[in-house]
Structure 1
Amino acid sequence: MKVYKDLSPSPRTIMTPGPVEVDPRVLRAMSFPILGQFDPEFTSIMNETMEMLRKLFVTENEWAFPVDGTSRSGIEAVLVSLIEPGDKVLVPIYGRFGHLLTEIAQRCGAEVVTIEKEWGFVFDKEELVAAIRTHRPKLVAIVHGETSTGRMQSLEGIGQVCRDLDALLVVDAVATIGGVALETDRLLLDAVIGGTQKCLSVPAGMSPITYNSRAAAKIAKRKKIERGLLTGGEEESLLRPVQSNYFDLSMLQDYWSSARLNHHTEATSMLYALREGLRLVLEEGLEQRQARHKAHEAALVAGVQAMDLRLYGDASCKMPVVTCIEIPEGIDGESVRNLLLQDFGIEIASSFGVLKGKIWRIGTMGYSCSKRNVLLTLGALEAALLRHGHKLEAGLAVQAALNTYA
């Protein structure tokens, strides 16, 4: 009979754009005893989590709670609940995850209009405004930070344009929330989706979301048609019930409200993890945390440039938490990644689509974003490149990073 050994994952230094290393205090929280989901002690934990999420998203929204599932579950819950069949949806695409928003919107039955930017760049405000005014969509869905290209889209002024034209603005902030400034209310964002496994340093398994009264009003109308409660004055013919049960935000509202109507069995240990992760973010302070991410990014970039490696993409829209590096000509990028993993226990990422095999992506996110990890990664990458015959002066990368820190 086959004997299965005790689980003993290898220790890793994870420097990818997600998942990242989990804060040990979060892992400890996940080991705490299970409570019943209607136990007053547990519902108090739910309430505290919602309070902290409002602070994370910088919002006064009534609705701020996690969807059980990985980040894609939050994206799908928001889109399937807000998009009715036939709605026109505008998706600006500048990387892989814009295509994901497009696919989900199409599955919701939307009339999807896309505009595309060359990978490595983002849209000017004027381009976005012109597209919104031209197409007059009911919903605009956009990625804040594209980990596939390491670029970040400015959202300044876009919310007001959407308000003026009565369009909802939905933002995928999975890769940026908790590491980069994002002020939901000031930017007039109608719905924002976050992720746990990136800058929050919590395992994948929940997707924090928030949405305002404009989004909630549409959800409420669809809830009425679903339950046969529309009055004669409401346009029943134009409404459709949400096609998903699990991802129906009106039902999740009932679960997260004071009513606590049963919808699913809450992922207890994951909620413990999220609560602790949020507590650590707020304990550090949003501005201080953002500054920490920028400081370690600067050291990493200095070290990369000291190795005469080229950074990929438009520097003016670089994500502070993801650094993309062009793989030098003649170097097998996967062989370098494998050497880093096998000999140093460090994981960095490759990329997707047109960038597959052309760039490396290094994440400096959450708990993984530390001086130790940056210096270790630079030293290991330098050694790996030398082993692969790339000419560079040994020692300069780490010294450049140390100078930045100094």
Structure 2
Amino acid sequence: MKFYKDLSPSLRTIMTPGPVEVDPRVLRAMSYPILGQFDPEFTDLMNETMEMLREVFQTNNQWAYPIDGTSRSGIEAVLVSIIEPGDKVLVPIYGRFGHLLVEISERCGAEVVMLEREWGTVFTPQEIIDAIRREKPIIVAMVHGETSTGCIQPFDGIGAACREVDALLVVDAVATIGGVPVKTDAWQLDAVIGGTQKCLSVPSGMSPVTYNERIEAKVLRRKTIERGLREKGASLSGVKPVASNYFDLGMLQDYWSPKRLNHHTEATSMLYALREGLRLVLQEGLEVRFKRHKSHEAALVAGLKAMGLTLYGNPDCKLPVVTCILIPDGLDGESVRSMLLNTFGIEIASSFGPLKGQIWRIGTMGFSCNQKNVLHVLGALEAVLLWHRADVNVGKALQAALHQYAHAEEEQPC
């Protein structure tokens, strides 16, 4: 019989765009005793989680709850539940995850219209507004923060343009929720999908979503037609039910409503984790949290530039929680990442598609976003680059970051 050693994962400084380090208080919450999913004590926790999600999503929507699964589960649940075959879906693409929205939409039978921008840039809101008025889609699906390129898409006027043509606006805010403002109601977003493993600093395994009555109306219309035909024994020909049972928002909202209709067995420990992670976000305060992420981004950027490295992408649309760096010519980027991990216990990310081997990506998200980590990664990166005989400005990075921190402290109000 083979014996396996005790599980003992290495301690890492995780500075990727996700997953990130998890607050010990969240890990502690996951160790609490299991409750049954219909135990009143547990359903109270479900209700509290929904209340906190509304605050974090900055919405008054009735529906704000987690989908059990990684962030992609939330994206799929929303799109599968609202897209009917033949629906026109407009997808502005400026990185890898726009293509994911296209793939899921096409699997649902949508007629997909793509807008594409060069990676490292974003659309002006007017470009998207013009496309909405021209195409008159049923659904517009967009990424808020694109971690593959380190860019963030502005939403000024896009929600209003969708209302003009009665289109539903679905937004992937997986990388931004809890780290930068996501103003669901103010921006007139109809559905927003978040992730746990990034700025919320909760392990991957749930995807918080929120959606309004416009989304719910389409979900319930499909459900009502299907149910009525089944009750009459009529043919379902021409009626396309939601393709997924597990990701059917109509069934999921019955589970999260006071009716508590059984749909699945809730991931109890993950809900504990999410509730505690949300509690910590709100305890810190959204505006304070957003400012913290900007502060550590500024120190990291100052250090990288002082080192002599070049940032990737248009700085006017930089995502505050992800910083992309061009790999210097002639340098083996994977060798640098490997040495950072194996020698210093620091993980940074590479990228995908046309940027594979071209950039490194450093995340400053949630619990990982702190001064110790920023200074650690700058010092270690300088040492590793010197080891690889790269041309860097020795001793400049940490001093620039420290100066940035000192300057930020001076600006703090008394």
| TM-score, length-scaled by structure 2 | 0.96
Seen in structure 2, the aligned counterparts of structure 1 residues 264 and 126 have a Cα distance that, compared at 3 Å, is same
Structure 1 Cα separation of the partners of residues 229 and 221 of structure 2:
9
The one-letter code sitting in structure 1 at the alignment partner of 2:73 is S
Q: How many residues align?
A: 403
Q: Secondary structure at the match of 1:183?
A: coil
Is residue 308–residue 393 contact of structure 2 (8 Å, CA) maintained in 1?
no
Is residue 226–residue 242 contact of structure 1 (8 Å, CA) maintained in 2?
no
Structure 2 residue 195 is the aligned partner of structure 1 residue 195: yes
Structure 1 Cα separation of the partners of residues 238 and 15 of structure 2:
48
Aligned twin of 1:91: 91
Aligned twin of 1:272: 272
Aligned twin of 1:369: 369
CA shift at 1:392, angstroms?
2.0
Aligned twin of 2:151: 151
Structure 2 residue 293 is the aligned partner of structure 1 residue 293: yes
Identity of aligned residues (%): 73
Aligned twin of 1:302: 302
Is residue 159–residue 189 contact of structure 2 (8 Å, CA) maintained in 1?
yes
Deviations 1:223-265 (A, max 9, x none): 1022126999xxx987532111000000001100000000000
Is residue 95–residue 119 contact of structure 2 (8 Å, CA) maintained in 1?
yes
Deviations 1:156-180 (A, max 9, x none): 1100000010000000000000000
Aligned twin of 1:81: 81
What are the ranges of 5 or more consecutive residues in structure 2 without an aligned counterpart? 407-414
Seen in structure 2, the aligned counterparts of structure 1 residues 238 and 286 have a Cα distance that, compared at 3 Å, is farther
Structure 2 Cα separation of the partners of residues 47 and 318 of structure 1:
36
Aligned twin of 1:393: 393
Structure 2 Cα separation of the partners of residues 100 and 163 of structure 1:
24
CA shift at 1:393, angstroms?
2.9
Structure 1 Cα separation of the partners of residues 8 and 180 of structure 2:
34
Aligned twin of 1:210: 210
Q: Secondary structure at the match of 1:361?
A: strand
Q: Secondary structure at the match of 2:228?
A: coil
Structure 2 Cα separation of the partners of residues 318 and 231 of structure 1:
53
Q: Secondary structure at the match of 1:78?
A: helix
Is residue 309–residue 392 contact of structure 2 (8 Å, CA) maintained in 1?
no
The one-letter code sitting in structure 2 at the alignment partner of 1:209 is V
Is residue 225–residue 240 contact of structure 1 (8 Å, CA) maintained in 2?
no
Structure 2 residue 362 is the aligned partner of structure 1 residue 378: no
Structure 2 residue 29 is the aligned partner of structure 1 residue 39: no
Aligned twin of 2:331: 331
The one-letter code sitting in structure 1 at the alignment partner of 2:306 is A
Structure 1 Cα separation of the partners of residues 385 and 177 of structure 2:
33
CA shift at 1:300, angstroms?
0.1
CA shift at 1:394, angstroms?
2.0
Deviations 1:195-249 (A, max 9, x none): 00000000000000000000000011011022126999xxx98753211100000
Aligned twin of 1:242: 242
Is residue 386–residue 392 contact of structure 1 (8 Å, CA) maintained in 2?
yes
Deviations 1:83-103 (A, max 9, x none): 011100000000000000000
Query: Cα RMSD between the aligned structures?
Result: 1.3
Aligned twin of 1:51: 51
Aligned twin of 1:8: 8
Deviations 1:95-114 (A, max 9, x none): 00000000000000100110
Q: Which contiguous aligned blocks of 4+ residues in structure 1 show a shift greater than 4 angstroms?
A: 229-232, 236-239
Q: Secondary structure at the match of 2:90?
A: strand
Structure 2 Cα separation of the partners of residues 246 and 237 of structure 1:
22
Structure 2 Cα separation of the partners of residues 320 and 396 of structure 1:
22
Deviations 1:105-153 (A, max 9, x none): 0000100110100000000111101111111100000000000000000
Aligned twin of 1:101: 101
Is residue 303–residue 401 contact of structure 1 (8 Å, CA) maintained in 2?
yes
Q: Secondary structure at the match of 2:274?
A: helix
What are the ranges of 5 or more consecutive residues in structure 1 without an aligned counterpart? none
Structure 2 Cα separation of the partners of residues 126 and 386 of structure 1:
45
Is residue 94–residue 119 contact of structure 1 (8 Å, CA) maintained in 2?
yes
Structure 1 Cα separation of the partners of residues 305 and 241 of structure 2:
53
Seen in structure 2, the aligned counterparts of structure 1 residues 90 and 296 have a Cα distance that, compared at 3 Å, is same
